[in-house]
Amino acid sequence: MESRMTITCIKDLQRLARRRVPKMFYDYADSGSWTESTYRANESDFARIGLRQRVMVDMDNRSLATRMLGEEVSMPVALAPTGLTGMQHADGEMLAARAAANFGVPFTLSTMSICSIEDVAEVSSRPFWFQLYVMRDKDYISRLIDRAKAAQCSALVLTADLQIIGQRHKDLINGLSVPPRPTVATALNLATKWRWCAGMMRTQRRTFGNIAGHVKDADNLSSLSKWTASQFDPSLSWDDIKWIKDKWGGKLIIKGIMEPEDAEMAVRAGADAVIVSNHGGRQLDGAPSSISALPDIVSAVGSSTEVHMDGGIRSGQDVLKAVALGAKGVYIGRAFLYGLGAKGEQGVTQTLEIIQRELDTTLALCGLRDIHDVNHRVLREGTYPLAGSASLWASSTRSTE
C-alpha cells in the first residue's frame, strides 16, 4: 500500500513519515511547546494570506533563481538546522545535505546533529552552513567553530532563542533519548518500524556526532546526555557576539529574531542576516507566528541586512507569501524532515521538487515570471500583516477561529 502511495504535496510525505519513523522521533519533529498555539499559528497564519490572480500576461521563461547571503540558489529556500535529523532516518544529515547540494539550495547543519560536521563535509558537493548553539564550555565552542571553518562552511548561523529549552510535553511523555532507551513501549513501537531499524543497523551514527568524542568525560549515553542538558548557556548576551564573530571570521546569521529591537541589536552586533524565527513554535508558546512578525522586522532592518524567516513553510505558496512580505529567503525544517523520514534522500529531493513546482506555478498564476518581481502587490489587501499593525492582524485573525 505505502509503495503505491501517490505523493502530491508535503502533507502526503508527512503521513508516510508518521508511519515509518519511531513515535518519539516523529513527535520530536512534529510538535511545539506547551499548548502548541504558536506551532499551529505558524502554519495557519500563512493560510489566511490571500493571493491575487492575474491573467493574459506573458508567463513564459520563468525564473526562481536568486541569492541568499551572496550565494546563488535555485530558489529562495534553505534547509533549516534541525536537531536529531539522523534519527528521522539513518545518516539523515548526510542524505539531506547531499539532496540540498544537488538541488542548489543551502543546507544548515545543527550543533545537535547525529552526523558530524566532518561526516557532512565528506558528502556535500557545495559549502554548507553550520548552526551554533552557544554553550557554557567556551573551549568546546571555540573548537567547534574551528571544525566548521576546517569543513569550509560558508556561513555560521547563531541560534539566539535556546538559552533554556521550552516546555515540550510530547518529548517528556515519550521519554525522548538518543539512542532510544530500551523500554517495553519503545520496543513495541520499533517493532513496527522495520525500515528505520534496518537503516540504523547499517550505520554507526546513533548519537550526537558533533559532541561525542569531543568533550572530556562524556563518553557514554548517560554522561553525554547529562553534559548536553547542562550546557545551554542562559547568560548568553549581545556582548558574546563579538568574540564569536571574530573567531569565526566569516558571514554570520543570527536566528531567533522576533522583535524589531532585537533585529536592530543583531545588526549592530554585525549580523550579515537575521532569521525571523520562533524556533518552530518549540520555545515560547504564545509568541506570534513568524510570518506575522516578518513585516515589522523587514521595516526595521531590511535596508541594512538580509532578512530571512522560518516557521510554517509547507508549500511553494508559503514561500511566495514570505518573499512578498520582504523575506530574502526562507528555511524549511519539518517539510524536509517529513520527506527524509518517509523516503530518505529521495524524500528530501521530492520535498524540494514539490515546493519548487508549487512556487513556480503560483508565481505564474500571479502574473509574474521572476521571483525578484514578487512584492506585496501579489497579496490580497487586508489578508496579510503590515508593518506597525502585525500584532493587531494576528489578534484579529485568531478571533475568527
Binding residue per annotation — 8? no
228 is in an annotated binding site: no
Q: Determine the distance from the C-alpha atom of residue 247 to the mean position of all C-alpha atoms in its chain, rounded to a whole number.
A: 25
Q: Has 382 been labeled as part of a binding site?
A: no
- Residue 279 marked ligand-binding: yes
Q: How far is CA 51 from CA 62, 217, 249, 302, 379, in A?
A: 18, 56, 41, 23, 4
Helix intervals (H) in 283-333? 290-301, 316-324
- Residue 313 is labelled as binding a ligand: yes
Q: Is 391 annotated as a binding residue?
A: no
Catalytic entry in 89, 214, 279, 308: 279
User: Is 83 among the annotated ligand-binding positions?
Assistant: yes
Residue with cell 487586508: 382
Residue 312, annotated ligand binder? yes
Secondary structure element (H or E) that encloses residue 309, with its range = strand 306-310
Residue 334 counted as an annotated binding residue: yes
* 89 marked as binding residue: no
243-246 contacts, C-beta under 8 A, 24 or more apart? 244/132, 244/134, 244/141, 244/145, 244/156, 244/158, 245/269, 245/270
Q: Is 50 annotated as a binding residue?
A: no
C-beta of residue 123 within 8 angstroms of C-beta of residue 94:
yes
Taking CA atoms, 130 is separated from 25, 117, 150, in Å, by 22, 8, 12
The answer on whether 143 is annotated among ligand-binding residues is no
Residue 168 annotated as binding? Answer: yes
Answer yes or no: 372 catalytic: no
- DSSP notation for 326-353: T-SEEEESHHHHHHHHHHHHHHHHHHHH
Q: Is 347 annotated as a binding residue?
A: no
Answer yes or no: is 282 a known binding residue.
Answer: yes
**Is-contact 13 342, C-beta < 8 A?**
yes
Q: Is 28 annotated as a binding residue?
A: yes
DSSP string, 132-201: E--BS-HHHHHHHHHHHHHTT-SEEEEE-S-SS----HHHHHHT--SS----HHHHHHHTT-HHHHHHHH
| Selection from 82, 86, 117, 51 nearest residue 384 by Cα | 51
Binding residues: 28, 81-83, 110, 131, 133, 159, 168, 255, 277, 279, 282, 310-314, 333-334
Binding residues for FMN: 81-83, 110, 131, 159, 255, 277, 310-314, 333-334
Instruction: Supply the residues annotated as catalytic.
Output: 279
Binding residues for glyoxylate: 28, 133, 168, 279, 282
